[in-house]
Copies of this chain bind each other. A is one copy, B any other.
Amino acid sequence: MGATLKDIAEKSGYSVTTVSRALSGYDDVNEQTRQHIISVANSLGYEPNLPARHLRGLSTQTIGMVIPANDQTFSAHDFFSQLLTGVGDAASRERYDLLISTQIPGEEEMAAYRRMVRGNRVDGMVLARTRQHDPRIAYLQEQGHPFVVSGRSAPGEPNDYPFIDVDSQAGLRILTEFLIELGHRRIGLILPPEDIAYTDYRHNGYREGLAHGGLEYQADYVVYGDLLRSGGYRGAQRLLDTHPLLTAIIACNDLMALGTMSAIQGRGLQVGPDVAVAGFDDIPAAEYAHPALTTIQQPIYEIGQRLVHMLLAIVRGEDLPESQILLQPKLVVRASSGPKLT
């Protein structure tokens, strides 16, 4: 269908070699010849065949990313759409495209990674939402393929790769201390699934906050959720059924916090005055929730952009000033955390 170098060569009377060299700006072709070739190329609507280029081992100008699929519950993608937008915008400025595969974690997911990496379709990969003993990281390291990660490994695991993460241990400590300062003594916690790498960090931060406020850690104030709104709803129900005297609940992401608010309101209680709620992420919906959600801000969009810059530096063989970045979290106080208790 499309015109090839050969077509241009025939039409212009030069060889394929010369056409190729003219088009890619070598200086051993006459300027007049080059102009002629370029005009023929344009008249034929020539566009280079990328697979052919890649076959020669040239850059694919493409960044790969595998994102978790989860059908209906697209709003769970809030985090990923922000990350994706950051990655996409930064990539575009570097004339890179994105190859995206949405996959449910598991065998198919690893196959998607293999297709991209060994299949030679991308120059580098962006990973997100690290898990414990993450097989994706092991694979990419073993392949020696350039990659960067949003989120470091779980505590105790090696972190021998480039990443950007927010210190969520500090985040949860700050949140917990803040609630204690408001006067709360019984604070529930809804954690992410156990296999997520940052779960332990947040769990630890919560414990640190309690210790700092002189409160004892109560294992049954803590439940696990699924990072979705529904998980927050169920988690809050469970906590309030067993411990109706809780005066505050921290959910480990904003989506679960929104679910928590629904559960509280469904019981005829007021979010804030009756039960304080706090989340983590500061997704756009947090600001517009009712009441607006107190949360820990993560600059997800910026992280996406910086990941691209790191990745391309690695791909180009430049060395990175910083290859492991830990950002400090920021507390954003809104109405959901309620007034100071008296």
Q: A69 and B88: CB pair below 8 A?
A: yes
Interface size on A, residues (CB 8 A): 59
Please, which residues of chain B bring their CB within 8 A of the CB of A2?
Answer: 118, 120
Whether A84 is near chain B, meaning CB under 8 Å from some CB there, is yes
Please, which residues of chain B bring their CB within 8 A of the CB of A118?
Answer: 2, 45-47, 49
Q: How far is the CA of A143 from the CA of B99 in the complex (A)?
A: 23
Q: Which residue from chain B places its CB closest to the CB of A81 in the assembled complex?
A: B81
Please, which residues of chain B bring their CB within 8 A of the CB of A291?
Answer: 290
Please, which residues of chain B bring their CB within 8 A of the CB of A72?
Answer: 301
Q: List 25 A-B contacts (CB under 8 A).
A: A1-B143, A2-B120, A47-B115, A48-B119, A51-B53, A51-B54, A51-B55, A69-B89, A69-B92, A74-B82, A78-B81, A88-B100, A88-B101, A92-B101, A92-B102, A92-B103, A97-B99, A97-B112, A98-B99, A98-B100, A98-B101, A99-B100, A284-B285, A285-B285, A288-B290
| Interfacial residues, chain A to chain B (CB-CB below 8 A) | 1-2, 45-55, 60, 62, 67, 69, 71-72, 74-75, 77-78, 80-82, 84-86, 88-89, 91-92, 97-103, 112, 114-115, 117-121, 143-144, 258, 284-285, 288-292, 301
